[in-house]
Amino acid sequence: MDLNEIRSTIDRIDSKILKLLNDRMEQSLLAKKFKSSIEDLEREKAIMEKLKNSSNLLLESEFKEDIYSLIISWSKKLQARDYKVIGFQGEHGAYSEDAARHWDKELLAVQCTTFNEVFERVDSNLFDFGIVPVENTLGGIVGPVNELLINTEAFIVGAIDMPVCHNLLALPGTDHREIKEVYSHTQALSQCRSFLARNKLTPVPFYDTAGAARMLTEAKPRGAACIAGRLAAELYGLEILKDNIQDFSNNRTRFLVLANEKSECKGIKCSVTFSVLHKPGTLFNVLRVFADAGINLTRMESIPTEPGNYSFLIDFEGYDKDPVVEEVLNRATEITTNFKLLGCYIEKII
């Protein structure tokens, strides 16, 4: 081991420390939802007592108390700013977080491990909003999200349709000729298959595009790069060796924004979910109600709920307070089961 190796190890540890500090601040913002006031002297006292009793050979009590006094002070400052929180699935730098920034850059994005976690935290009011991908032009529908939409208590309050631009990222100063392996989510790897084959690069599946970028920064594997978005490159200090490496230019993902209450704005698109009796012509009768009213359907998906039974998701153009739309919704409710208006909202096209 030499000085450069030691410094490289220190850099990796520093990166982890900053990530953990950011995670802690996110949790402190969520904790505010359950507190009557920002100040909690008993909690602060308990933290300091725990630090005094902890055994750390190189960390004296005074040092630990100074560090945590700063951490607690900053946590309270963040809580006082009264951020609105939007949850997304994946690591920071994910395309979902990028979509959240496009929808409202003032929101604080908090990461979740699963889509189910996003829905649960919106349903329970822990998050003000959630954002989830619902379909991709190349990969098709995001099955788990569509299944969760059928059963959620949350409402759709917005949508973002944006291009997904994959980039080849590497540590600064990396010689592209030394790269042999490329890490990323399986879907991103498949969408860049021709680029990888053309450059004789071995795809290595990873759980998340942004997670691959974070791993590259922390682990610094030799001869490796990753595929992720520009936001991930910015957050993890990576260099973009080649941008827009996806095989097809028309690679777009549509994201839905969720909230616990309906949108107050005048929407331009509505989403509904329902089931029909398992008889010939029942679905056709529902679709005819929309067609007879001249309402344009923009999306329809069938989601299996149990053997032989399906629920349906439909998006259509219109405003739910329009008399024509109101009549259609009333008529559709009469000839379906479990009918629910998921929301009327504005959709942004990026």
Whether 186 is catalytic:
no
Distance set, CA 8 to CA 15, 34, 80, 181, 200 (Å): 11, 41, 37, 21, 29
CA gap 287, 292 in Å, rounded? 9
Instruction: Look up residue 274 and give its two tokens.
Output: 């329902």
Which run of H or E residues covers position 189? Answer: helix 186-191
Catalytically annotated residue among 119, 129, 206, 255: 255
Catalytically annotated residue among 152, 209, 217, 253: 253
Find the helix packing angle between 3-31 and 209-219, rounded to 10°. 140
Whether 255 is catalytic:
yes
SS3 334: helix
Instruction: Look up residue 102 and give its two tokens.
Output: 């496009």
Which run of H or E residues covers position 236? Answer: helix 230-236
Distance set, CA 120 to CA 66, 260, 310 (Å): 37, 10, 23
Provide the b/e sequence for 241-270 (b: ≥16 CB within 10 Å). Answer: bbeebbeeeebebbbbbbbbebbeeebebb
Do 182 and 153 touch, CB atoms closer than 8 A? no
Closest to 119 in 3D by CA, of 142, 85, 153: 153
Angle formed at CA 132 by CA 126 and CA 136, multiple of 5 degrees: 180
Tell me which residues are annotated as active site: 253, 255
